[in-house]
Amino acid sequence: MNIDIGNLRAFCVVAEKESFTLAAELLGATQSTISMRVKKLEQLLGNKLFDSSPHGVELTNFGTDFIPKAKDLLGAHDNTLHSITQQSEKQSFRLGVTYHGIDQNLPELLRILSEKLPQYRMSVSVLSSEELYAGLARLKLDTIVAKRLTGDHKGQSLFNGKLVWMASKDFEYEPDKPVPLVSLGSPCSLRQMAINSLNAAKIPWQEVFIGSNVFAVKAAISAGLGIACLEQRTLPADCKVLPEKIGLSPLPLTEFVLEATSSARKQDACMIDAITEYFEAQEG
């Protein structure tokens, strides 16, 4: 049995107002249209819904039994439609964050953004900084939080990072052997920094593991496969920062910035401000 929502609504309004005329006025229809809708519903149900009364119309016994069910059906329909409409009206926002040192902040950042700005429907990409800049340039992302690339003077500075050499707590550095290097695949600025740093110090090295993302790299160093150059804030619990005294060359400081498209800066200024405030609070 398929009940037409328009017929159901007509029945509920007539029942509430006890009048086909008033129901027609409220629903913006003619009295004959409302009468026809109620008639079709009666035919479907196989029972009469209204009787005439001195003041208009009144529910039959069947109509009295059916009215609460009709209201439940109509309410469920209207609530579902409202929910879908609300979702479709939300403003979309495409955020990209780098996994080089910000991924651990993501749960708290998303919670704060959703609480402050519930009118947004967010999509989030966790990628390398290089991939984020490319996505922004191709307008596939609205705003990114990424590591500042060499020679790039754009972007709003958020915080500074610290690159360190790290390995499992059981790892023993052997200076007479090539350094077992664990890194991300190319293109990756951190990988290149690590290689440049080792070459500058004339330290022999051998690449023993290449990961497609930082999660794979952290798994490899936790497993004791070698050492990696990563942000100190990403240090796994079962790993350690290798001391400078063992001879590994120091690594440069890094800077994380926020960049956004011009349209995002105009349309999503409140979202950009909320992201900036979050990282300022973290640094404070």
pLDDT digits (tens, 9 = 90+) for 84-140: 655 555 788 999 998 776 767 788 988 999 888 888 888 999 888 888 888 888 889
Domain covering 5-89 assigned CATH 3.40.50.1820 in the classification = no
Residue 204 is given by DSSP the state: -
pTM, whole model, 2 decimals? 0.59
Q: CB count, 10 Å around CB of 203?
A: 14
User: For 53, how many CA atoms within 13 A lie in the half-sphere containing its CB?
Assistant: 14
187 preceded by a cis bond (ω within 30 of 0): yes
For residue 162, what pLDDT is reported?
A: 84
Domain locations in the chain as residue ranges: 5-89, 91-159+255-283, 161-252
5-89 and 91-159+255-283 agree in CATH topology = no
pLDDT of residue 36: 94
Residues of the chain with pLDDT under 50: none
Q: How far apart are CA 167 and CA 229, in angstroms?
A: 9
Q: Which fold has domain 161-252?
A: D-Maltodextrin-Binding Protein; domain 2 (3.40.190)
The span from the CA of 229 to the CA of 254, in Å, is: 12
Residues 184, 216: Cα–Cα separation, whole Å? 8
Which option is the CATH number for 91-159+255-283: 3.40.50.11890, 3.40.640.10, 3.40.50.460, 3.40.190.10? 3.40.190.10
Positive or negative, the CA dihedral 106, 103, 86, 93 is positive
Place of tokens 């790039």: 152
